[in-house]
Structure 1
């Protein structure tokens, strides 16, 4: 899993990690039942504290995207919550739009104009 963090992103690191994992699941990088690398490995690869990664994983578990299985580690839930994936993409879009000076209402107008 190739995750990257944006040090200029104002969001807390655990939210960035959770968002990156949501995207990987949503885009098919991980399929239901696939096992994620251990939190320590993810933390080492990202250069952050393992507790930060664990917090992100717990948040995703609470959203129904991941499952914690004793002896098997962390796996993608059999039916990841689609709404959670869409919400993350919407948050990412809002963040990107803000960088270009667009607000929430501007995005709503753009979406209404789409076919």
Structure 2
């Protein structure tokens, strides 16, 4: 699994990491029941503090996206994937935004406003 932290996003690292992991779950790169990398391993790979990774994992656990099992790691708890309507709608939305010249920060702002 490839994890990418968006350098253009000025948010906290744990939120950026949680967002990247959430996207991997929603679009099917990581499937239901699949184990995420150990926090220490992921921290070393991304050159982050292990507590940053753990905070991102706890955030996803609180959202119901993953389950945390002490000593066994983090496991995807939601049945999502590339075949879901949500993943398709997200890709369609991003494509439409690009066609209309809406950049990522503006699209994210529009989504946040609509989500309220």
TM-score normalised over the length of structure 2? 0.68
CA distance in 1 between partners of 2:37 and 2:3 (Å): 12
RMSD: 3.2
Q: Which runs of 4+ in 1 moved over 6 A?
A: 92-95
CA distance in 1 between partners of 2:58 and 2:70 (Å): 14
2:104 aligned with 1:96: yes
> Could you report, residue by residue, the CA deviation over 1:80-107 in whole angstroms, capped at 9, with x for unpaired residues?
6xxxx88xx6xx98971439xx9639x9
Paired positions, count: 97
- Structure 2 unaligned spans of 5+: 81-85
> Could you report, residue by residue, the CA deviation over 1:52-101 in whole angstroms, capped at 9, with x for unpaired residues?
01000000000000001234211000446xxxx88xx6xx98971439xx
CA distance in 2 between partners of 1:53 and 1:7 (Å): 16
TM-score normalised over the length of structure 1? 0.69
